[in-house]
Structure 1
Amino acid sequence: MEWYCKSTGTAGPDASWGAKLMLEDGLFESVKPDAIFAIHVMPGPSGQLSWRSGATTAASDMLNITVTGHQGHGGMPWNTIDPVVASAQIINGVQTVVSRKANLTRSPAVVTIGSIHGGSGPNIVPESVAMSGTIRTYDQDVRDKLRDDLTLSAEKIAESAGATAEVSIEPMYSTTINDAELTASMAPVLERAADGKVATAELPGAAEDFSFFAQQAPGLYVFLGVTPDGQDPATAAPNHNPEFFVDESALVVGSRAMAMMAVNFLAAENE
């Protein structure tokens, strides 16, 4: 009988490849858990626990696009192939891929271009522009189709401007799936741990390396609200923000929930 506990705040949404590297190093080769639990702090009423069955955090893919044109004078753009304009059209185009090609009734999807770099002067059409972003999905079929559609869209938009687009999509994290049976069995335990202060978690859009653990054993990923009483969680600074603030009294609830889940799981297995 084995179980694994990932403590609050050790990795977190969009963190490093910690879990995957640990598994590659043989973490579960000698001792594989029968269940795995995690709690992560988030804006929310202090001490509130929230969770959902099934898809819980998003799969994440890194998107890189390099658009190459023909450099020249900004005052004579007809003698150039402008990768800046083509890149702007691609940025708009990838949003259309989500709104018109992704089946959003099946599962949400998000594409965000977070950085774009190109050019060296205001009167120069540059040779190339590089942009990068992130793709978030919760369903593997939607994820696979979105990758193909984004690649085709970027390449063809660039082609229509006489430019070329090199698209690279690197898988990062898988979707975190909360095991339905484990989630149902732990629901009353979590309600007791939080003195009834519970809610159904929304899909956060963040990604989590816990997903790799949950592929190895039934998993349950829970969110812990840490916004101080009297402050609106909707306007509180989010995770990964320098103003993010944790009401440390909520951590008592998180610790109690982890301990109670472990004890109750082991007791049920022993019975």
Structure 2
Amino acid sequence: MTLMAQAEAMLPELVALRRELHQNPEVGLDLPFTQKRVLEALEGLPLEITLGTETTSIVAVLRGAKPGPAVLLRGDMDGLPVEEQTGLDYASKNGNMHACGHDLHTAGLVGAAKLLAAKQDEIAGSVIFMFQPGEEGFNGASVMIKEGVLDAAGERPVAAYGLHVGPGPRGLLATLPGPMLAGSSELHVTVHGRGGHGSMPYGAADPVVALAELVTQLQVMITRKFNVFEPVVISVTRLSAGEAVNVIPPSASLSATVRTVTQTSLDALPGFIEELASGIASAHGCTAEVNFETQYIPTVNDPAETEFAIETLREQFGEDLVQVPPHGVMGSEDFSYVLHEIPGTFYMLSATPDGIDPMSAANHSPLVQFDDAVLSVGAASLAQLALARLAK
């Protein structure tokens, strides 16, 4: 029986687990209910289990009957502070929502653990199962790395694999070598001037005018400082200045989200922004205070490991169901920190239910729905990648 057939056979129990997790989503690094349910689902398997101390993470190691290297498989477990509006009979009951499909990631990784445990006698090496809290802005991956997930098998893995569900034709897999997802940063700039009366701007140093110029010049700076084929995206999403209509305020500020696809761009960007903001502010008799905070670095797939993953998945599911898109997307992931340490691949699994327009609601929407029928694909694909890589 193939791995996919075995995964299909266990689909009802994976669906039941996923729906229970979906009804009880937890946010951040502390996921006690989720941790408890995953541990119950793994009970009886020949796994060496370690629990996190700074977070409710689970690291489970399966040691094959034969010596060999280690491979890491990851599934993130946290939800979002979003009020669900799907109307599903298993919709969230606590005001949070698995609006990014991490409930499928978790149940799928449980499925992969069950599939691989059944083949323990055939495995030459070890598999690390990384059940991770805190992907949604809490950088749980770095917490788990600090706590030793990459060394859980006694040696560093030779490869790491993770998947993410998203909108699109159900069961379609996609990945590509190089940048798969962008790095995510936050930009905060405050321009300090000298307040005054709105009728006499010549008696003030107006920070609003300087800030308005900075908003537009940030976009020009991107086109002049960065290669268009290594995109940088800055979206100013918040402006703040004063309260009274007839008063020029002493300061004005902006906040922006920043996306980069290469570490080179990420390293260079803060300096360029500092130079631009200071120059514009100075021209208006003001000063600028710049705060640039990197949340997640770019998620970069190792070329050789990704070509191997594409070949393996196509052998398993067929050419038509495994695609190589022309470019990555500008969303972000903290699996990037795993791939910064270990060569590997992050891939996407389309999971829109039949009869729903994939463009109607995307990840993080209170209306987004994912078909739990793809759990068998998720579990079987992760298990196959581990088996094939260890056999290699």
Distance (whole Å) between structure 1 residues aligned to residue 225 and residue 341 of structure 2: 32
Q: Are 1:48 and 1:194, in contact at CA under 8 Å, matched by a contact in 2?
A: no
Name the counterpart of 1:152.
275
Tell me which residue corresponds to 1:204.
329
Contact 2:71 2:160 in 1 (8 A): yes
Q: Look up the match of 1:170.
A: 293
CA distance in 2, matches of 1:242, 1:72: 44
| Worse-superposed segment, 184-193 or 160-169 | 184-193
With normalisation by structure 1, the TM-score equals 0.90
Distance 2:188 2:211 in 1: 12
Shift of 1:11: 6.3
1:191 aligns with 2:294: no
Distance in 1, Cα, partners of 2:360 & 2:180 = 22
In structure 1, how many angstroms separate the alpha carbons of the residues matched to 2:184 and 2:133?
15
Partner of 2:146: 24
CA contact (8 A) 1:12 1:209 kept: no
| Alpha-carbon contact 2:134-2:140 (below 8 Å) kept | no
- Match of 1:52, SS state, is coil
What is the alpha-carbon distance in structure 1 between the residues aligned to residue 195 and residue 365 of structure 2?
39
- Structure 2 residue identity aligned to 1:56: M
Query: 1:213 — aligned with what?
Result: 338
- C-alpha change, 1:72 and 1:193, in structure 2 (3 Å) is farther
> Which amino acid letter does the alignment assign opposite residue 7 of structure 1?
G
Rounded to whole Å, the distance in 1 between the matches of 2:215 and 2:385 is 45
Give % identity: 34
Query: Residue 36 of structure 1: CA displacement?
Result: 0.8
1:132 aligns with 2:255: yes
Q: 2:137 pairs with 10, 15, 19, which one?
A: 15
Question: AA paired with 2:279?
Answer: K
C-alpha displacement of 1:198: 2.1
State the number of aligned residues.
266
With the length of structure 2 as denominator, give the TM-score of the two structures.
0.63
Q: Residues 160 and 170 from structure 1, CA distance in 2 versus in 1: closer, same or farther, beyond 3 angstroms?
A: same
Q: Tell me, in whole angstroms, the C-alpha distance in 2 between the residues paired with 1:67 and 1:82.
A: 9
Which of 208, 213, 228 is equivalent to 1:84? 208
The answer (yes or no) to whether the contact 1:193–1:253 under 8 Å persists in 2 is no
Displacement after TM superposition at 1:208 (Å):
1.1
Q: What is the DSSP-based 3-state SS (H/G/I as helix, E as strand, rest coil) of the residue aligned with 2:168?
A: strand
User: What is the identity, as a one-letter code, of the residue corresponding to 2:343?
Assistant: P
Instruction: Using the TM superposition, give the Cα deviation of residue 12 of structure 1 relative to its aligned residue in structure 2, in angstroms.
Output: 8.8
Q: In 2, distance between residues paired with 1:121 and 1:200?
A: 54
Rg larger for: 2
Moved more, 16-25 or 196-205: 196-205
Q: Which has the higher helix share?
A: 2
Superposition pairs for residues 1-271 of structure 1, below 5 Å? 1-7=69-75, 9=102, 15-30=137-152, 31=154, 32-105=156-229, 107-195=230-318, 196-201=320-325, 202-233=327-358, 235-268=359-392
Q: What letter matches 1:33 in structure 2?
A: P
Alignment check: 8 A CA contact 2:137 2:295 kept: no
Shift of 1:256: 1.6
User: Cα gap change, 1:50/1:173 in structure 2, threshold over 3 Å: closer, same or farther?
Assistant: same
In structure 1, C-alpha distance between the alignment counterparts of 2:376 and 2:180, rounded to whole Å: 23
C-alpha contact 1:47 1:194 (8 A) present in aligned 2: no
Moved more, 129-138 or 35-44: 129-138
Query: Does structure 2 retain, via aligned residues, the 8 Å contact 1:43–1:236?
Result: no
CA RMSD of aligned residues (A): 2.0
Alpha-carbon shift at residue 68 of structure 1 (Å): 0.8
Deviations 1:179-227 (A, max 9, x none): 1121111213222444431222332101211011112211110011112
Letter in 1 for 2:330: G
- The higher-RCO structure (CA 8 Å, 6+ apart) is 1
Residue 169 and residue 23 in structure 1: after superposition, are their counterparts in 2 closer, same or farther (change >3 A)?
A: same
Instruction: Report the 3-state secondary structure (helix = DSSP H, G, I; strand = E; otherwise coil) of the residue aligned with 2:145.
Output: helix
- Structure 1 position 116, deviation (Å): 2.1
Answer whether contact 1:102 1:146 (CA < 8 A) is retained. Answer: no
Alpha-carbon distance change, 29 to 248 in structure 1, aligned in 2, over 3 angstroms: closer
